[in-house]
Amino acid sequence: MNIYINERPAEVAEGLMLYALRDQLKPGADVLVVNGAPARTDVALHEGDEVVLIQRGEKPQEDELEALMAARHTPGVHRAIKNATVGIAGLGGLGSAIAIALARIGVGRLILADFDVVEPSNLNRQQYFIADLGLPKTEAMTANLAKINPYVQVTSHTVRLTPDNVPAIFAEVDVLAEAFDTPDGKAMLVESFSSAYPDRPIVVATGLAGYGSSNTIVTRKVGKSLFVVGDMVTAAQPGTGLMAPRVGVAAHHQANAILQLLLGEDPAKRQ
């Protein structure tokens, strides 16, 4: 009969038992999942069953992890993005969430840049942990990404971005994500990158503070290769802070726009 083992098709004997399959293929597996649910006891397998064998603490082989992750994507997406390179300028509330989202979908290479360290106040919206406090954000994020997908190639630059170094640091990217806090920083990055690489897209964010409606956060195309995410209005100010839910919505808008661009689609196009 035909089943799936760790997302790969396999032909096995009729009536094969789950534990027998484990003993044949992965005797150390201590988590057995059948059709999406943990199996607490031995069960007979049937045609079309999907089995995942997991050994706690074991790092999967690259091809195995890729198969497991790619199986949850739209067909062809993983193949199209595994050779892509994305730059992320800033690793705060936006950039840290963008990096994790892109690692989870299997973008092949990430180029990260930030000069800052992880502070306690960052934990209200940024993708770091107590153990990361005091570390450079580039170092902490590289380590956290490796825990999610160790086969994404990460190049990090612990440096303050300037008009002089932006073109060199992001020379190899297919798409650049802007994730700065200040309008001046955003403008500098867009101008520096667009001047050097006018045909490469850059996805920026503005207008995402507070806890107003998530439905006002949209993606707009405002130039040949410039896409803006946000409501374009709601800036951080006293009484309207930057909070995890709405910042996360904007960050994932950015990540999704980047994915669409890598797949040759227009992220600002309304269906």
Q: Name residues whose C-beta falls within 8 Å of residue 219's C-beta, 6 or more positions apart in sequence.
A: 203, 227, 228, 229, 253, 257, 267, 268
Delimiting residues of CATH 3.10.20.30 domain(s) in the chain: 2-58
Q: 77-262, what's its fold?
A: Rossmann fold (3.40.50)
Q: Spell out a b/e string for 36-63, using b for 16 or more CB atoms within 10 Å of the CB, else e.
A: eeebeeeeebeeebebbbbeeeeebeee
Delimiting residues of CATH 3.40.50.720 domain(s) in the chain: 77-262
Q: Which superfamily does 2-58 belong to? A: Beta-grasp domain (3.10.20.30)
Give, for all 271 residues of the chain, the pLDDT tens digit. Answer: 999 888 889 999 998 999 999 999 999 998 899 988 899 899 999 999 999 998 888 888 888 887 777 777 776 788 889 899 999 999 999 999 999 999 999 999 999 999 999 999 999 999 999 999 999 999 999 999 999 999 999 999 999 999 999 999 999 999 999 999 888 999 999 999 999 999 999 999 988 777 888 888 899 999 889 999 988 777 776 777 777 888 999 999 999 999 999 999 999 887 5
Residue 200 burial class via C-beta count within 10 angstroms: exposed 0-12, middle 13-18, buried 19 and up: middle
CA distances to 10, 166, 201, 257 from 170, in Å: 43, 6, 12, 18
| pTM for the predicted model, two decimal places | 0.85
Residues 259, 105: Cα–Cα separation, whole Å: 9
Q: Name residues whose C-beta falls within 8 Å of residue 189's C-beta, 6 or more positions apart in sequence.
A: 89, 161, 166, 176, 178, 180, 202, 204
Give the residues across from 87 on adjacent strands: 111, 176
